[in-house]
Amino acid sequence: MLSVKIELLEALAQALETLSPGAGAKAAFESPKVAAHGDLATTAAMQLAKPLKLNPRQLAESLRTALLGNPAFQAWVDAVDIAGPGFINIKLKPSAKQQVLREVLSQASQFGYQPSTGHRMLVEFVSANPTGPLHVGHGRQAALGDAICNLYASQGWDVYREFYYNDAGVQINTLAHSTQLRAKGFKPGDDCWPTDPDNPLSKGFYNGDYIADIAADFLAKKTVRSDDREFTASGDVDALDDIRLFAVAYLRHEQDLDLKAFSVKFDNYYLESSLYLSGKVDDAVKKLHDAGKTYEHDGALWLKSTEYGDDKDRVMRKGDGTYTYFVPDVAYHITKWERGFEKVVNIQGTDHHGTIARVRAGLQAAGVGIPQGYPDYVLHTMVRVVRGGEEVKISKRAGSYVTLRDLIEWTSKDAVRFFLLSRKPDTEYTFDVDLAVAKNNDNPVYYVQYAHARICSVLAAWREKDGGDVASLGQADLTPLESPQAQALMLLLAKYPEMLTAAAVDFAPHDVTFYLRELAASYHSYYDAERILVEDEVVKRARLALVAATAQVLHNGLAVLGVSAPQKM
Residue ending a domain, choose from 215, 247, 271: 271
Q: Nearest-5° angle of CA 365, CA 367, CA 369?
A: 125
pLDDT tens-digit readout, 518-546: 999 999 999 999 999 999 999 999 999 99
pLDDT of residue 372: 94
pLDDT tens-digit readout, 387-430: 999 999 866 555 678 899 999 999 999 999 999 999 999 999 99
pLDDT of residue 202: 44
Whether residue 14 is contained in a domain is answered as: yes
451 & 553 share domain: yes
238 & 311 share domain: no
Task: List the CATH number of the domain containing 557.
Answer: 1.10.730.10
Whole-angstrom Cα distance, residue 468 to residue 538? 13
Whether residue 143 is contained in a domain is answered as: no
pLDDT of residue 330: 97
265 & 318 share domain: no
pLDDT of residue 195: 60
* Number of domains the chain contains: 4
Whether residue 411 is contained in a domain is answered as: no
284 & 225 share domain: no
Cis previous bond, 197, omega within 30: no
Whether residue 102 is contained in a domain is answered as: no
pLDDT of residue 200: 47
pLDDT of residue 395: 60
Whether residue 83 is contained in a domain is answered as: yes
With b for 16 or more beta-carbon neighbours within 10 A and e for fewer, the 166-180 pattern comes to bbeeeebebbbbbbb
Instruction: Point out which residues pair with 79 in neighbouring strands.
Output: 91
260 & 315 share domain: no
Average pLDDT per run of 10 along the chain, which is 569 residues long? Answer: 85 91 89 84 90 89 93 93 91 91 96 96 95 92 98 98 89 91 90 63 71 96 93 96 95 94 95 94 96 95 94 93 92 98 96 92 96 96 94 69 92 98 95 97 97 97 92 94 94 95 98 98 96 96 98 98 96
pLDDT of residue 196: 56
Task: List the CATH number of the domain containing 34.
Answer: 3.30.1360.70
Q: H helices of 155-187, where? A: 170-183
Whole-angstrom Cα distance, residue 515 to residue 183? 52
**Which of 525, 526, 502 lies closest to 515, judged by CA?**
502
355 & 302 share domain: yes
445 & 544 share domain: yes
Cis previous bond, 375, omega within 30: yes
pLDDT of residue 3: 81
Whole-angstrom Cα distance, residue 357 to residue 246? 36
User: Residue 216: which domain range?
Assistant: 170-271
Give the predicted TM-score (pTM) of the model: 0.90
Whether residue 118 is contained in a domain is answered as: no
463 & 488 share domain: yes
Whether residue 163 is contained in a domain is answered as: no
282 & 247 share domain: no
556 & 461 share domain: yes
555 & 446 share domain: yes
Other CB atoms closer than 10 Å to residue 352's CB: what's the count? 15
Q: Nearest-5° angle of CA 522, CA 525, CA 531?
A: 125
Residue ending a domain, choose from 380, 407, 428: 380
Whether residue 131 is contained in a domain is answered as: no
pLDDT of residue 199: 52
pLDDT of residue 201: 46
**Which of 128, 233, 139 lies closest to 171, judged by CA?**
128
DSSP 3-state assignment of 431?
Answer: strand
Query: What is the distance of C-alpha 321 from the center of its chain?
Result: 39
Task: List the CATH number of the domain containing 360.
Answer: 3.40.50.620
Whole-angstrom Cα distance, residue 363 to residue 375? 9
Whole-angstrom Cα distance, residue 196 to residue 460? 66
Query: What is the distance of C-alpha 325 from the center of its chain?
Result: 27
Other CB atoms closer than 10 Å to residue 204's CB: what's the count? 15
**Which of 81, 69, 101, 175 lies closest to 132, judged by CA?**
175
Residue ending a domain, choose from 38, 61, 92: 92
Concatenated DSSP letters of 271-294: EHHHHHHTTHHHHHHHHHHHTT-E
227 & 286 share domain: no
